[in-house]
Amino acid sequence: MGHRVTIFSGRINKARTGPAAFIKMKFMANLTLVYGLRLLPEGEVTAIQDATLELANGHQAHVTMHLIEGSREEIEAQLKRSLDAFFDFYPEI
């Protein structure tokens, strides 16, 4: 019997995904990827909140947290697909 794979992502902040965000990304020489990982028993997580980042310009940004459940192989495969899809949002980099 295969394991169930569950993918959860929180809200999307539309203010960060507008045309200005894409223009700014185009001119960046180096980027910073913010991420976090934690393994827990399946079904242990009951709530997930966005992480808040403090930026050098004094503003805040929010990182949507994601949850993937399944076997090690299923989690690794989904994580790889998610990372590939993330960079597909920014084809200019």
C-alpha distances in Å from residue 92, one per residue of 8, 15, 26, 32: 27, 20, 6, 16
Asked if residue 68 lies in contact with residue 5, where contact means CB atoms within 8 angstroms, the answer is: yes
Is the entire prediction scored with pTM above 0.85?
no
Instruction: Give me the amino acid identity at 90.
Output: Y
The predicted-structure confidence for 44-92, as pLDDT tens digits, reads as follows 999 998 899 999 999 999 998 889 999 999 999 999 999 999 888 877 7
